Structure 1
Amino acid sequence: MTTIVGIKTREGVVLGSDKRASKGFFIGSKITQKIAKIDDTLAIAIAGQLSDAEYLIKMAKAERKLMELRRGFPLTVKESTRLIANLAYSGLKNYQPYFVELLVAGVDEEGSHIYTADMSGAIIGEDFASSGSGSPIAYGVLESVYRSDLTNEEAKEVAAKAVKAAMERDPGSGNGVDVLVIPALVKAEAV
């Protein structure tokens, strides 16, 4: 139970999450980090089983680094998301599913990206997305205020507003808001 949101902006991407980790109807932690920064260009927001998500993120970091070393250039955000989704799907195919829903957010040479990924291996690109038990409420905020020309600062406020709205009505979300901004890559101009 949680609320995570991702927003694509004209200046990069923004991820937001609440801080509550629940164990059934018990609050297990009030300071849980649900946003994992992979590097300066990619981050993942986690909804679902924390241990499964942490394992997938560690595997994805290692596999991504190996692929980049073999290729000699970095993976795009979509390639990184496909890698993560394939790892999640491998668990499902082996009858040991990873009970997670992930928002993968990042920037690359092609621009800013928000993708949803889950245990089925599916990935969907979105301008904004939410997941977790509070997502229906967060979507109400996102759909009412999202614009494609949002700045990162404006998107930070929108993400916080969406998560706070969810925390008001969803008992699985609470204890504060974390927000992470990844600015767009600065393109070098040819001389």
Structure 2
Amino acid sequence: MEVSFGITGKDFVLFASDTSAARSIVRMKSNEDKQKVIGKHLVMAYSGEPGDTVQFAEYVERNLRLYQIRNHLPLRPSSAASWTRNQLATSLRSRKPYSVNLLLGGFDPTNTTPELYWIDYLGTLGVVPYAAHGYGAYFALSTMDRWHKPDMNLEEGLDLLRKCVDELEKRFIVNLGEFTVRVADKDGVRQVNLKSGEAVVPV
């Protein structure tokens, strides 16, 4: 019962993930962060098997950091997505494959464009303007298709995200609780409040 959204705009990428950690019919935690900041301008939203998701996200984060230390420059979103997809494809052919679905993207400062990549547990990679994983995809992709514009500003992007969350609250039988929302743009990555659009100060 997990949901993650990704939306690109004129100069940003917006990520949203539910904050519920559940097993069967029991919610064990309501403040789980299912996103990982893996670079100054890079974010990864993950869903799947609980142990696999956290382990794989930390594995990706540390390896991208190691690359930056060794080469004195960070990987661009396209390169980070390709490397991550390769790791999933390699694990798929091992005895213990990761069961993880990802939305990876951010702002590429080299060519000043936002980029979003859809990756599933089979190692499939797609470049997309907007995306969703989990049950949210059944309800929100048509909303994104109707209202998404490539030249949206941040407020319009947040408004589209609110439409997607409202659709889930109206039509999905399960209450997913709150959402973690992050924006990646030329200024870096920051967490924002979905209702107000203001930056969230980390506690």
Q: TM-score scaled by structure 2?
A: 0.83
Tell me if 1:76 matches 2:76: yes
Residue type at the aligned position of 2:177: N
Confirm whether residue 124 of structure 1 aligns to residue 130 of structure 2: no
Per the alignment, in what secondary structure is the counterpart of residue 75 of structure 2?
coil
Aligned length: 186
In structure 2, C-alpha distance between the alignment counterparts of 1:168 and 1:58, rounded to whole Å: 34
* CA shift digits 1:12-71 (9 cap, x unpaired): 110112222221222222222122222320011112123211111111112112222333
Match of 1:36 in 2: 36
What per-residue deviation string (whole Å, max 9, x for no partner) do you get for residues 148-177 of structure 1? 111122112212321332243334551112
Answer yes or no: is 1:99 the counterpart of 2:99.
yes
Give the letter aligned to residue 31 of structure 1. Answer: N
Question: In 2, are the aligned partners of 1:159 and 1:179 still within 8 Å (CA)?
Answer: no
| Identity over aligned pairs, percent | 22
Contact 1:15–1:159 (CA under 8 A) maintained in structure 2:
no
Within a 5 Å distance, the mapping from 1:151-190 to structure 2 comes to 151-171=153-173, 174-184=176-186
Q: TM-score normalised to the size of structure 1?
A: 0.88
Listed as ranges, the gaps of 5+ residues in structure 1 are: 187-191
RMSD, matched Cα: 1.9
Higher relative contact order (CA 8 A, sep 6+): 1
Matches within 5 A, 1:40-55: 40-55=40-55
Distance 1:98 1:170, change over 3 A: farther
In 2 relative to 1, CA 35–157 (structure 1 residues): closer, same or farther, beyond 3 Å? farther
